[in-house]
Structure 1
Amino acid sequence: MKRRTLVGGIAAAAAAAAHSTPAAAAPVPSGRRIGMSDVTRLHERFADIIASDHAHGGQLGIEQRAAALADEALTLQRAGQATQRVRASLYSCAASFRSSAMWAAIDGRRYVDAQAHMREAQALAEMSGDQAIKFRIWSHAGTMYRHMGRPADALAANDVARSLSISRRDPMFASLGMARQAAIHGAAHEPTAARRAFERAHESMERADKADYRPVWMTAFYDQAEMDSLALSAYLALGNYPTAEFHAHRCLAGLRPHMARSRAITTTRLAHAQLAQGDAEAATATAMTVPASAATQHARVSGMLQEFGAALRATAPGSSTVQTWNEHTAAWRTRA
């Protein structure tokens, strides 16, 4: 019932998405022929959005830029002449941009905005017929509900992603779906289910053909380091701090250079895992390596560091370690 509730209503929303008026899209000469070259240009701009997300993450500017590009794709759809293939590709581009706006809002903890982007992205994806972008949107929905503390909804949304045919065709999509399922089980305090899901995610990744074509949003982030990041999140939630720390170190060792946002999140979670094991000094040293830009401008990182500071003061009240941390965060606020 939960999954049917989440899926229901998309068809009705599709008409609204197709006929809504974009606020700031550039005008297109009426009757201009739209071709795959226009789609290619949109794909290049989508790659730029993905790069910005991995460098900064969660920023309102990324969300707004992605939403504006979704509107631009829909403007081309309405104003130009195009083949059915091109029209489907334009809907796919619009859904891709809207899903990036959704993700930026999730990452910035702007959940009301994220849900609005989600509904439009789902409608556009249905009209595009693009299985990969449908997977991305529903998988993001699962992550959103996990961050909102709604594991039942998170599982239902992630199940939609995992039920798509692309998850059966491509083991890499199956792996991502299972890894995110495992993180949800962690948030729901289900250790056995989390462990089994991670085992299945790893097995699927091992079976995946690395040479297969996959969309840029997938190839830019999903690998063993990302699986370790999800395991870190799960085992932190489960209170298994040594295992969480193990995955944190392995994630940091494997992260690609462009993953600045992920590195800041992982470092912050590592500090939490170390502090929970009683090593306040090492945990504080770890937390102090988080860049000031992430500490002050990324909502998730900022929130987790505030929680770290509160836990540190409760663990080692009045200590020199707490004083060092307070001085460090004061310098962050000055620079912000």
Structure 2
Amino acid sequence: MDENLRLRAAMDETGYTQAELVEQLNLSLTAAGHRGTVSDRTVRYWLTGKSRWPQQRQRDALEAVFGCPAVELGFVPPEGPLLRRTFLASTTAAGAALTIQPSNAGRVGTSDVAALRASLESLTGLDDKRGGHAALERSALAGAAECLSKQDKASSQRVRQRLLALAADFTATAAWSTIDARQLDRADSQLKEALYLARMANDSATELRVWNSLAMLAHQRKEHGQAVDAGYAAQATGITRRDPLFASLAHARTAVGHSNRGDRQAALRSFGFAEEMLSKAEPDTARPPWIAFYGPAELYALGAIVRDRLGFAAEAEASSYRALAALPKQFRRNRALATARLALAQLHQGEAEQACDTAASVFQLMAGAPLPGRMRSLMGDFYRDLLTLAPDATVAREWGNRYRDQWSRT
């Protein structure tokens, strides 16, 4: 009894699990006016070779689902030896590859999805290192367009849904790049498109990503009430009920919004929820690459923002140090941002000289790459606070003379 490797390969290519294949076959049978008679055992018998030739209506359903004849799925007719020899000869002539044969030529399967996902992961890595910029935005939008262009050639509904989810993720990456680069006018339309695609794909993780970005966009526009609303919308997505890590990010983002409004009690309550949820998150759970930035280090960094906004500068400084100690090396842009926040916390405690030294290291961390717009804006905030809090200090004038050019033109 030989295993049906062709059927197994077809399932792998289309992305169906055994249970999902049962569901699709029964839907096909029902649509054709038959009872849904396929069970997990039925498919298991096919895969193990215990059942080599399904009933006619089941063969019709298989051919409808996979888009190729049953014999190309490894099924062997039970009729006499002549027909069997004919079948074997035809499959040998076509090659012994354990994939769907020419009737599926040009179809888009899981291998194509995997290649697109790898491209998205490379963009995520580029963002971690350099931050948002025009080339990253263009590449992400091109990736989204490629995903959508392959929809009509998808080998299964599951593959179609994966392509939609990837298109949403690519579009969200483009939107995030525009936010990080402070090209805010384009971000709105891109985030709306990403939210639409994520909901079409039933991808609540990307939906949360969009709400998180909308909260950050509202913050940059100083629309702090809308930032809080976006944080609450992120908390309501389905992924937060399944994975505490995502719930933690949603609560942390809400806390930042509350702190920007000066609502101390609400900010500390939301941040407490973020800490509680993160303590429940399983570190080894498989998650989308974009969420890799979030963990203890990022929560410390967000905590520094919340505490500094609420007037707890010493606590903000301690949170920044913790963030820098815990931050993985590949997140160069985030390390530079956390360092800038550390400089602000030091400045708000009256330590102008130390703050200027810390802020200077931001340019060293980002050497070789232009500062993203969001970081340039943060360094501008530092200099304005420096002039406000220490207008007569020699170190303030020296820092401005030395670095003004770098953050204003890069």
Q: For this structure pair, what is the TM-score category when the shorter chain's length is used for normalisation? A: 0.7 to 0.9
AA at the equivalent of 1:116: S
Do 1:171 and 1:205's aligned partners in 2 also have CA atoms closer than 8 Å? yes
Do 1:232 and 1:245's aligned partners in 2 also have CA atoms closer than 8 Å? yes
Mapping 1:87-102, distance limit 5 Å: 87-102=160-175
2:319 aligned with 1:247? yes
2:406 aligned with 1:326? no
Mapping 1:103-252, distance limit 5 Å: 103-218=176-291, 220-252=292-324
Report the CA distance between 1:278 and its aligned residue: 0.8
TM-score by length of 2: 0.70
Deviates more, 1:142-151 or 1:69-78: 142-151
Alignment correspondent of 1:58: 132
Alignment correspondent of 2:145: 71
Do 2:154 and 2:160's aligned partners in 1 also have CA atoms closer than 8 Å? no
Q: 1:202 to 1:87 in 2, by over 3 A?
A: same
For residues 239 and 400 of structure 2, the distance between their equivalents in structure 1, rounded to whole angstroms, comes to 49
What are the Cα deviations for residues 158-216 of structure 1, in whole angstroms up to 9, with x where unaligned? 22221122111111111111111111111111111111111111111111222222111
Question: How many equivalent pairs are there?
Answer: 305
For residues 335 and 237 of structure 1, the distance between their equivalents in structure 2, rounded to whole angstroms, comes to 28
For residues 243 and 362 of structure 2, the distance between their equivalents in structure 1, rounded to whole angstroms, comes to 35
If you compute each CA radius of gyration, which structure gives the higher value, 1 or 2?
2
Do 1:125 and 1:133's aligned partners in 2 also have CA atoms closer than 8 Å? yes
Q: Kindly, what percent of the aligned residue pairs are identical? A: 35
Report the CA distance between 1:155 and its aligned residue: 2.0
Do 1:95 and 1:122's aligned partners in 2 also have CA atoms closer than 8 Å? yes
What are the Cα deviations for residues 104-158 of structure 1, in whole angstroms up to 9, with x where unaligned? 1111112211111011101111111112111111222122212221122122222
- Bigger RCO of structures 1 and 2 (CA < 8 A, at least 6 apart): 1
TM-score by length of 1: 0.85
Alignment correspondent of 1:41: 115
What are the Cα deviations for residues 260-308 of structure 1, in whole angstroms up to 9, with x where unaligned? 1111111111111111111110000101101254795311211221222
For residues 214 and 296 of structure 1, the distance between their equivalents in structure 2, rounded to whole angstroms, comes to 30
- 340, 343, 355: which one pairs with 1:271? 343
For residues 279 and 139 of structure 1, the distance between their equivalents in structure 2, rounded to whole angstroms, comes to 33
Do 1:74 and 1:94's aligned partners in 2 also have CA atoms closer than 8 Å? yes
For residues 287 and 97 of structure 1, the distance between their equivalents in structure 2, rounded to whole angstroms, comes to 33
For residues 408 and 380 of structure 2, the distance between their equivalents in structure 1, rounded to whole angstroms, comes to 16
AA at the equivalent of 1:329: Y
Do 2:343 and 2:359's aligned partners in 1 also have CA atoms closer than 8 Å? yes
AA at the equivalent of 1:266: A
For residues 31 and 153 of structure 1, the distance between their equivalents in structure 2, rounded to whole angstroms, comes to 49
Q: 1:335 to 1:177 in 2, by over 3 A?
A: closer
